[in-house]
Chains A and B, each alone.
Chain A
Amino acid sequence: MALFILSVLGGYLAVGVVFGLAFVTRGIARVDSVAHGASVAVRALLLPGSVLLWPILIRMWISALRKSRIERQPSL
């Protein structure tokens, strides 16, 4: 039982680390234009939150991408 809980938690954090690194390098500027050009220190500070909150941030990132795609589409 303990092993199962720890495996689930470990899996969650492992996905979080991979996602978090991608998010702080590319995602934050997509989600929030103010974060464009943020320093390495700011990105490092945002990494733990990105690792922990990855399910929420994935959704935010996808909807930001969708929005920018719609904005880029030429209006007829």
Chain B
Amino acid sequence: MSVGYVTVQWTRSKRVYDFVIAGGVLAYLAVFFAIGKLTWGGQQAISDEILLIRALATCAITLLHIVLCIGPLARLSPRFLPLLYNRRHLGVTTFLVAALHGLVVLGYYHGFGRVNPLVSLFTNDIDFLVAGSLPFQILGVAALVILAVLAATSHDFWLKNLSARTWKSIHMSVYACYALVIAHVAFGALQSERSTIYPILLAVGVTTVTALHCAAGLKERRIDSRSSPAIAWVDLGDCREIPDGRAKSVRVAGQPRIAVFRSGDCISVVRGVCAHQGGPLAEGRIIDGCITCPWHGWQYRPADGQSPPPFQEKIVTYQLHNHIGRVMLDPAPLPPGTHVEPARIGSPSDVN
């Protein structure tokens, strides 16, 4: 939480995650290189530079697919949530691998002439345009620029100061980047490729990303359609079924997700969206008396939605009352940080 910025809020799981990413990338490049040497030998031998270009390109595109699949997978099943916690590092790695691919291409295909390599790249592609085909290298450069902006703005400083909304809109451009990458591959590498394996792999990737997003969207629509209309008081159901220190998620039409937390006999209700990066608070736990976000561990007091001092973040709370032993919720959000006396489970009369 924002008492001071650090480069990375390291935790043990983050170290493991980063170790797996770095190890995975290096192993992939080594295996691709080794297989490439075996496959393209003899008459069909290709230079080490071209092999490296291909290895980096396929690695970057695989990472991009993983990045895009993590979001919907986590929405479909909480088992994938740990993958989401450190997705930013995966995104930055994707950019670094893609940038390396771009640099090797620039050096190998454009670096040996008398013209500036960047000028050569752009003029080459404009010649392509005249010839009636798509300027696939410029598409790749555009995708790389988007990845650069996403990587450069991944720190919490940007999230806070650009506002969550602007930050999110900037980061949604990853889908434009994906479209550009697919076009870059389709109009570039696939044009000269005789093997069918690359188009098949690309089609499998695009289908997987699309199908997962559709499935996650359908699941959320189903949940939304079951939500109660935003009228008067909403019955929160039997809150005794919520395990102690845990929460359940409730939908009220026209409202973002609401998290109903139980701490002993007390029920508190807050907006289920973390002030940090919109993490799902209802999937978090109460640790040391505070609601703890499952993504990066930001904490909020259940009764007033405020982060414990010295932190200053606040989330929306909701008015509650007991009605014949049932906990009822007023769906009108209170200003972030408003104290609301918790409702007690089983208490027979009105509390608030």
Contacts and interface: CB of A to CB of B under 8 A. Distances in A.
The bracket for how many chain A residues form the interface is 20 to 34
Contact of B152 (A31, A37, A42, A48): A48
A34 B3 contact: yes
B153 A53 contact: yes
B7 interface: yes
Given A2-B123, A6-B119, A48 B7 contact: no
A34 B152 contact: no
B301 to A, nearest CB: 20
Contact of A2 (B4, B126, B153, B158): B126
B149 interface: yes
Interface string B111-124: 00000101100110
B210 interface: no
B119 A28 contact: no
B207 interface: no
Given A1-B126, A52-B148, A52-B149, A42 B5 contact: yes
B157 interface: yes
A41 B126 contact: no
B161 A32 contact: yes
Contacts of A28: 157
Given A31-B161, A46-B157, A48-B152, A2 B6 contact: no
B169 to A, nearest CB: 12
B155 interface: yes
Contacts of A3: 119
A73 B4 CA distance: 28
A21 interface: no
A22 interface: no
A15 interface: no
Interface residues of B, number: 23
Contacts of B119: 2-3, 6
Given A2-B119, A5-B122, A6-B122, A48 B3 contact: no
A17 interface: no
B113 to A, nearest CB: 14
Contact of B155 (A37, A49, A53): A49
Interface in B107-163: 116, 118-119, 122-123, 126, 148-149, 151-153, 155, 157-158, 160-162
Contacts of B162: 53, 56
B2 interface: yes
Interface of B: 2-7, 116, 118-119, 122-123, 126, 148-149, 151-153, 155, 157-158, 160-162
A75 interface: no
B95 to A, nearest CB: 10
24 contacts: A2-B122, A2-B123, A2-B126, A3-B119, A6-B116, A6-B118, A31-B161, A34-B3, A34-B5, A34-B160, A35-B157, A37-B4, A38-B4, A41-B7, A42-B155, A42-B157, A46-B155, A46-B158, A49-B155, A51-B152, A52-B148, A52-B152, A53-B149, A56-B162
Contacts of A1: 126
A72 B179 CA distance: 50
A73 B160 CA distance: 27
A39 B7 contact: yes
Contacts of B3: 34
A42 B7 contact: yes
Interface in A30-76: 31-32, 34-35, 37-39, 41-42, 45-46, 48-49, 51-53, 56, 60
Contacts of A45: 7, 155
A2 B117 CA distance: 12
A52 B144 CA distance: 13
A28 to B, nearest CB: 7
Nearest to A42: B5
B5 A35 contact: yes
A14 B7 CA distance: 25
Contacts of A60: 161
